[in-house]
Structure 1
């Protein structure tokens, strides 16, 4: 655990959901921003989706919610860098992630973190612990390049996702940094393909032609999630 992050933005979305947002550069050039989503289950257990660095203020926020982290979710092949720190801090927590992530971490020399619930192409309907399963639905997008795990928090009708799609510029993540979230030519190019402006087709085309590696499977996942009952999306 490190010192507090002066750029951290904590936001309460619902009584059960909070987000923790920080600056983050993709490829050390593109202002993507980083965000963890915390779900507090009715049992009191916490699920940490896409963990950000476990700084002192992040730990304090977790403690303010009871401190009982039951689940650490690496939602794809990219959002896993903090798994080791969280598993060390909360050793009884169960880890959820996509097939191939543990092997990728081994190749990179990262701390070995066993994945208790591993989503795979032939194993998309995992039986999760009841306290989690009764409050979330899960779809594993094995057709996505990053192997996305997407959650529906049913009590609040909230869709929680990581890299399924983006909403740049990352204004909230950079709001306390003193930096313009839109500045820099790599960021401006990324924004063309990663924004949710109505009528703008850049992201739609980028997802379909660049990220949808198995289009039939991707489309099946899209149909399933489109049928879910949600009115809020946390990227």
Structure 2
């Protein structure tokens, strides 16, 4: 259910969902802003028990879809919290016109959360544009799909082979091969990751992988070494 991860930040591990025939766990992150409002990142399925736990923390004012792939349960939250604003990357408006989108996520935080959360847009690949967030109070960097890590036994049969080839079951969390291979604007992505690396990150949370509680900057550097180290190797 709702588990406190650090100062003013909680995680919720939701149900497993099927995407293109692969089973993926789901994770939601809730951050309480300085004004007491809640920022709900990548919402999971909403049960009555979860709603009661969320409501005990404060009012939900921001529902956030951090890339074009994480939107499955947004409609449930919009129905439950009609006064909340919904934020998404621009491409999601076209993909999910059935949902209510109030504001686009940009390469700078909205005024409502700028005192508590920073953000960087990482684009340039052919699959999705993702907004990476940094929660100041807990010094936590939050990735959606750009960094993933599954235990070797999570996938079975041919899916395990595909997952291995995609780096999903690498020894350490890393960027899946498909995102690396479809990256078009490498210099733009490199600049974005360098901005992320400039934050004093202690911990890292991802949608698909165990929480990283220490040495967060080192974990990000390892995941993006293939991109950050390109110039040095030329």
Task: Indicate the TM-score class for this superposition, using the shorter chain for normalisation.
Answer: 0.7 to 0.9
Q: Which residue matches 1:105?
A: 96
Task: Please tell me whether the aligned partners of residues 34 and 115 of structure 2 are also in contact (alpha carbons under 8 angstroms).
Answer: no
SS of match in other structure, 1:233: strand
Higher relative contact order (CA 8 A, sep 6+): 1
Does residue 74 of the first structure (1) align with residue 69 of the second (2)? no
SS of match in other structure, 1:80: coil
Q: Which residue matches 1:93?
A: 84
SS of match in other structure, 1:73: strand
Shift of 1:34: 0.5
Indicate which of 97, 101, 104 corresponds to 1:114: 101
TM-score by length of structure 2 reads 0.78
Runs of 4+, deviation exceeding 3 Å? 180-185, 202-207
SS of match in other structure, 1:39: strand
Residues 42 and 184 of structure 1, relative CA distance in 2, 3 Å threshold? farther
Indicate which of 151, 163, 168 corresponds to 2:145: 163
Indicate which of 120, 131, 141 corresponds to 2:122: 141
Shift of 1:194: 1.7
Residues 83-108 of structure 1 show CA distances to partners (whole Å, capped at 9, x for unaligned) of: 222122112212211012111113xx
TM-score by length of structure 1 reads 0.77
Does residue 207 of the first structure (1) align with residue 179 of the second (2)? yes
Shift of 1:35: 0.5
RMSD, aligned α-carbons: 2.4
Q: Which residue matches 2:134?
A: 152
Q: Which residue matches 1:12?
A: 4
Q: 1:196 & 1:233 partners in 2: Cα distance? A: 17
Unaligned stretches of 5+ residues in structure 2: 207-234
Shift of 1:187: 4.1
Q: 1:191 & 1:32 partners in 2: Cα distance? A: 15
Alignment of 1:51-62 (within 5 A): 51-62=43-54
Query: How many matched pairs?
Result: 204
